[in-house]
Amino acid sequence: TSRRTLVRRLAETGCAFRPLLDGVLRERARIMLAAGTQSRDQMAAALGYTDATSFSRACRRWFGEKGGRD
């Protein structure tokens, strides 16, 4: 299934794609941060962020902290 098809089918059921994706990314980031084995750059790449700065902004929004180790 393409992303566009998934977005459309979710919308048909009253769900929005972005909040679902955000929740999954938040949970994966929480697990990675708790493990403390990866750098911020590694976590950002693993979660599909284009750079560590974008990942850090998401972590501040989710957790109120910088997120990750440098």
Tens-place pLDDT, residues 43-52:
999 999 999 9
* Tens digit of each residue's pLDDT (9 = 90 or more) over 8-45: 999 999 999 999 999 999 999 999 999 999 999 999 99
List the one residue out of 23, 24, 27, 3 whose CA is nearest residue 11.
Answer: 3
Phi, psi (degrees; rounded to nearest 5) at 46? -65, -30
- What letter represents residue 28's amino acid? R
* Cα 4 to Cα 13: distance, rounded to the nearest angstrom: 15
